[in-house]
Each structure stands twice: as structure tokens, then as C-alpha cells.
Structure 1
Amino acid sequence: MDLLMTLMPILLFVLLFWAILIRPQQKRQKQITEMQNNLQKGDEIITIGGMHGTVHALDEGTVVLEVNEGQKLTYDRTSVREKKA
């Protein structure tokens, strides 16, 4: 019983750490991955580097963005931060 009482604060700290820091990050990462997998041609996006563009073409792991009139750049899908509404 003394061992349980000794370990209780440590267990509570670990549980609190997981609930406050780790779980929300996991949920956010799942949302980002889902958004990246559901990209479609014509979507307006922003990359993690701040590049704004429109999806021109999609491959398994890459996305081609049209950033200016006719200029196209190729990025990894994982570099897409958000889709504009």
C-alpha cells in the first residue's frame, strides 16, 4: 500500500502530461494528415514555408502548385500546412 501511495503522484503527473500535451498534438497531427490526404485539384493551400498556391496536380507523395500565372512548383504533400477556406 505504501508503494502505491509513493507512486501515485508520479502516475498522476504522467497522466496529466499525456492529457495536456501529447493527446492534443496527436489529434492535430491526425487532422493535418487527413487534410493532406484529401487534397484535390483546384484547392487553395498554404505550405509550411508560407507559399500560397493552387493545387494543379497530385501524385502519391507530391503536389504541384500553381503559384503565379503559369508558374508551377512541386512540393511533398507533407509540406502542406493548411487549406484555405
Structure 2
Amino acid sequence: MEGLFLPLLLMLVVAVPLIMGTRKQKRAMQQQQELQSSLNDGDRVMTTSGMYATVADASDETTIDLEIAEGVVTTWLRQAVREKIEPVVESDVDDESEDGDAAELTAADATESDSETDSERSKEGAQVAPPLEHGKK
């Protein structure tokens, strides 16, 4: 009996993580299938390559048409959709808090042009990087 305890314990230590990993993988696959089946026209999505797009046509079972720019529609496999992006909801409440003095100090330290660009970025809601020059002169 004592000779069987050590191999049995070793098998148990190896088997438990394998079973738990398999369950986690099955749960992730199920969530991904639910996401792909729930896509509708007009949904904002992100592909596995990191591209943001809007669903233009989701009627086919295997492919999906994504609008990547205004008037530019491409066809992708449904499996290429990584996640659905929820629209950003802007609040009407000012972001000023009781710690407004600290915000005023940091704004006073910044140059006027920096504060203008920060306010423009906050109005847009997203930061856009300038285009790369790729060594052109």
C-alpha cells in the first residue's frame, strides 16, 4: 500500500492542472463562439490583428464584412474577430473634483501649447499618432 501512494500522488499532481487547463480552454472557446454568433450589423469590433472596424454584413455563417473606413468594406473570417468594442459614453458631469487646486498647479506648470493639445485630445476622446515619414526627405 505504501509503495502505491507516491506514484498515485504524482499522477494526481500532474492530472489536476491538466484538467483545470482544459476546462479553462473550453470556457474560452465557448465565449468566443458566443461572441461570433452574436455579431450584428453596426457593431464595432477589433480583429485579431488589432484593426478596429464596423460590421457591415453579418449574414454569412463563415465570413463577415467589415467596414474599415467610410466606403471601404472588406470580407473576413468570423474567427478573425477578437472582441466587440462597446461605444464610449461621455458623461455630462465635469471631471473637476475637490482637488481642483492640484489640477490648477499642474496646468500652470505646463506651457500654453501643451495644455491646448491636451484639451483637444480630451475632446476627441482618442489619441491619434502622427504619420510616420519612413525616411523620406
Q: In structure 1, give the amino acid aligned to 2:43.
A: D
| Shift >3 Å, 4+ stretches | 1-4
Match of 2:77 in 1: 76
The structure whose Rg is larger is 2
Q: In structure 1, the residue corresponding to 2:57 is in which secondary structure? A: strand
Which has the larger strand fraction?
1
Percent identity over paired residues? 36
Match of 2:30 in 1: 30
Distance 2:61 2:3 in 1: 52
**Relative to 1, partners in 2 of residues 1:3 and 1:56: Cα closer, same or farther, differing over 3 Å?**
farther
* Aligned-residue CA RMSD (Å): 1.5
Matches within 5 A, 1:1-85: 1-2=1-2, 4-5=4-5, 6-19=7-20, 21-58=21-58, 59-85=60-86
Q: Which has the higher contact order (CA 8 A, sep 6+)?
A: 1
Q: In structure 2, the residue corresponding to 1:10 is in which secondary structure? A: helix
What TM-score do the two structures reach when normalised by structure 1?
A: 0.86
How many residue pairs were aligned?
84
Structure 1 stretches of 5 or more lacking a match?
Answer: none
Q: In structure 2, the residue corresponding to 1:8 is in which secondary structure? A: helix
